[in-house]
């Protein structure tokens, strides 16, 4: 059975897709979601093999949801009323791209592709700046809840006890990614790695302070000072336009 999640902000569209999928005995619908945050929560909770994903939705759109997925994501089939997203959908390594209203024979072809696994699953790290643009928001956990944090509010990202946290001026939020994945994802958004376990938002940097033995510290917008490793100091100075 192919465990399947339906994601669409329109209840009528989800109902229509449920009916269409009833003809396929190997499709098991394990849940539904009506917006981007709920979709991420359901993907984490239910671990579907396939997500039928609308693009235009409140909270996060379909492409932003894909960007937030972890390194072993489900197969993605985009379903939308807009044909202008097709190129971006395939650049995001979607299995298929269906236009509403979905014809039954077209749905069958898409599911055949899913069964064969002829295309690579969506890989978050493969969605480059040129394809999807810089990330503007980040999904993180506040307790058991998933919240969406504007990246302009994130001052730095750090590792503590093997967990990764996004730090704002008021709180630390758990991010279910590795520091390496975030370094790749957030570089186009102006984040730079300053040590083995820390990234900083360059927009939050206020001072570079010479430190001991040729090392540096960076002062951030919240007045925190963080150590910069010797091998990262040159990159930071270049990024800040310092010779």
**pLDDT tens digit sequence for 17-37:** 999 999 999 999 999 999 999
What is the pTM (predicted TM-score) of this model? 0.74
In contact, 41 and 69? CB cutoff 8 Å: no
Domain check: are 106 and 202 in the same one? Answer: no
Same domain, 91 and 15: yes
pLDDT of residue 135: 84
Residue 220, domain CATH: 2.40.50.1020
Provide φ and ψ at 34, rounded to 5°.
Answer: -110, -5
Do 150 and 105 reside in the same domain of the chain?
A: no
pLDDT for 204 = 95
Q: Which residues of the chain have pLDDT under 70?
A: 71, 90-91, 118-133, 243
Q: Is residue 172 domain-resident?
A: yes
143 and 95 in one domain?
no
Same domain, yes or no: 42 and 94: yes
99 and 26 in a single domain? The answer is: yes
Residue 52 lies in a domain: yes
**Are β-strands 2-7 and 27-33 bridged in parallel, bridged antiparallel, or unpaired?**
parallel
The residue out of 124, 151, 166 marking a domain boundary is 124
Q: Quick check: 135 and 67 in contact, CB under 8 A?
A: yes
Residue 121: its pLDDT value, please?
44
Q: Which of 76, 103, 124 is the last residue of a domain?
A: 124
Q: What is the pLDDT of residue 109?
A: 93
Residue with tokens 């465990």: 3
Please tell me the predicted confidence (pLDDT) of residue 215.
81
The answer on 47 and 145 residing in a single domain is no
Q: What is the CATH number of the domain that holds 53?
A: 3.40.50.2300
What is the model's pLDDT at position 71? Answer: 67
Within a domain: 9: yes
For residue 107, the enclosing domain spans 2-124
- The answer to whether residue 27 sits within a structural domain is yes
What's the domain count of the chain?
2
- Please indicate, yes or no, if residue 131 is contained in any of the structural domains: no
- Residue 98 domain flag: yes
What are the structure tokens assigned to 123, written together?
Answer: 């890989």
End position of a domain, from candidates 99, 124, 149: 124
**Would you say residue 129 lies in a domain?**
no
The Cα-based distances of 158 to 165, 184, 223 in angstroms read 5, 15, 16
Tokens of 16: 């229509």
* 95 Rama sector, left if φ>0, alpha if ψ -120 to 50, beta otherwise: alpha
């Amino acid at each position: 059975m192919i465990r399947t999640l339906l994601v669409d902000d329109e209840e009528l569209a989800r109902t229509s897709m449920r009916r269409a999928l009833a003809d396929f005995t190997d499709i098991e619908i394990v849940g539904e979601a009506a917006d981007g945050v709920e979709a991420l929560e359901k993907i984490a909770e239910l671990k579907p093999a396939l997500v039928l994903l609308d693009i235009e939705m409140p909270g996060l759109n379909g492409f932003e949801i894909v960007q937030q997925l972890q390194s072993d994501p489900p197969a993605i089939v985009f379903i939308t009323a807009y044909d202008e997203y097709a190129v971006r959908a395939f650049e995001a390594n979607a299995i298929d791209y269906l236009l509403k209203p979905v014809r039954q024979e077209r749905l069958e072809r898409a599911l055949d592709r899913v069964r064969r696994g002829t295309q690579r699953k969506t890989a978050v790290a493969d969605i480059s700046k040129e394809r999807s643009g810089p990330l503007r928001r980040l999904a993180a956990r506040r307790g058991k809840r998933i919240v969406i944090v504007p990246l302009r509010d994130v001052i730095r990202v750090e590792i503590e006890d093997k967990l990764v946290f996004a730090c704002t001026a008021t709180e630390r939020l758990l991010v279910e990614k590795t520091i390496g994945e975030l370094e790749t994802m957030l570089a186009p958004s102006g984040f730079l790695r300053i040590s083995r376990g820390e990234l900083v938002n360059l927009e939050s940097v206020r001072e570079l302070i010479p430190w001991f033995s040729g090392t540096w510290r960076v002062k951030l917008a919240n007045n925190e000072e963080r150590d910069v490793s010797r091998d990262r100091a040159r990159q930071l100075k270049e990024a800040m336009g310092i010779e």
